[in-house]
Amino acid sequence: MVFLSHYGVEVTPSALESGASQRDRITELISNCTFGIVCLDGLRPNISFEYGVLHGKQKPIILLREQTARVDITGFFRDSPDLKLGPVSLDLDSQFSNVKDVNYAVWNRNSIAQTIGVLWDEFQKKKDEIKPFHKIVKPTW
């Protein structure tokens, strides 16, 4: 993939190391990155933390919200085996309210071609913020 020849890609948790601090490693990766891609496919504390570190370090962010994203309520209450809650749609205006004025792009986990197109479009919009910016030909299928 042409993108990988210009930018290294680090994905948590695979970029983490056993025996090392997750927080320190994530902060180090973000400190050294050119830009970040935040995929809101649910509302998990680690994603909020990573977004906050990217913002605090003034890194360009491509913010993506998955079309059918749901909040993982049961993940917050693992000790409650009888917790019966239906799926809760992700509502950034209330559940991620500190950034409700920030625009995001919508992607669909079930459509790889559409997702890559959305990502490429958002990457192009950040060309004045991403340094160095490498022109990448739009992928086609």
Percent of the chain with pLDDT over 70: 93
Per-residue burial over 49-78, b if 16 or more Cβ lie within 10 Å, else e, is ebbebbbeeebbbbbbbbeebebeeeeeee
In the predicted structure, residue 11 carries a pLDDT above the cut 90: no
Question: What's phi and psi for 73, nearest 5 deg?
Answer: -60, -45
pLDDT score at 124: 96
Strands annotated E in the chain: 36-40, 61-66, 70-71, 88-89, 105-107
Q: Domain 2-125 classified CATH 3.40.50?
A: yes
Asked whether 38 and 108 are in contact (CB, 8 A), the reply is no
pLDDT score at 2: 62
pLDDT score at 94: 83
**Stretch 27-39: mean pLDDT:** 94
